[in-house]
């Protein structure tokens, strides 16, 4: 199932958070491509969408852990926290669509 997040109008290097109730998603645009991770950092719950993009990483604003935007891997601080769950986004007719598993 897919749900519409809004207009796919992010600039390169921009992050945007979407609060979906029981889940929050952080979308990034990198070199024209949209990528997404869960927004609540698995370290201490800060919102990754308040951080910054560095290369292909999103850097958490609270303790600077960098997560790979393709795999969710903790790329900067192994052992500090886990990898971050990823999310699947696509663009359809200028709208940002999030792939959601049934029941999640």
Does position 47 interact with ligand FES (CB under 6 A)? The reply is no
Determine which residue in the list 24, 46, 73, 100 makes contact with ligand FES, applying CB under 6 A.
46
Does position 65 interact with ligand FES (CB under 6 A)? The reply is yes
- Residue listed under structure tokens 């999030």: 98
Q: Which residues contact 102 (CB under 8 A, 6 or more apart)?
A: 1
Could you tell me which stretch among 6-14, 22-30, 59-67, 95-103 binds ligand FES (CB under 6 A)?
59-67
Q: Of 62 and 100, which has the nearer Cβ to ligand FES?
A: 62
The tokens describing 55, both together, are 């290369």
- For the chain, how far is it from start to end, CA to CA, in angstroms? 10
The tokens describing 77, both together, are 């601080």
Q: Of 20 and 44, which has the nearer Cβ to ligand FES?
A: 44
């Amino acid at each position: 199932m897919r749900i519409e997040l809004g207009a796919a109008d992010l600039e390169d290097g921009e992050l945007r958070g979407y609060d979906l109730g029981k889940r929050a998603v952080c979308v990034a645009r990198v070199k024209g491509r949209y990528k997404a991770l869960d927004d609540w950092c698995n370290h201490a719950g800060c919102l990754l969408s308040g951080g910054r993009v560095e290369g292909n990483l999103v850097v958490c604003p609270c303790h600077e852990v960098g997560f790979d935007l393709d795999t969710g891997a903790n790329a900067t601080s192994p052992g500090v926290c886990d990898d971050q769950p990823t999310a699947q986004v696509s663009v359809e007719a200028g709208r940002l669509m999030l792939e959601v598993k049934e029941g999640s």
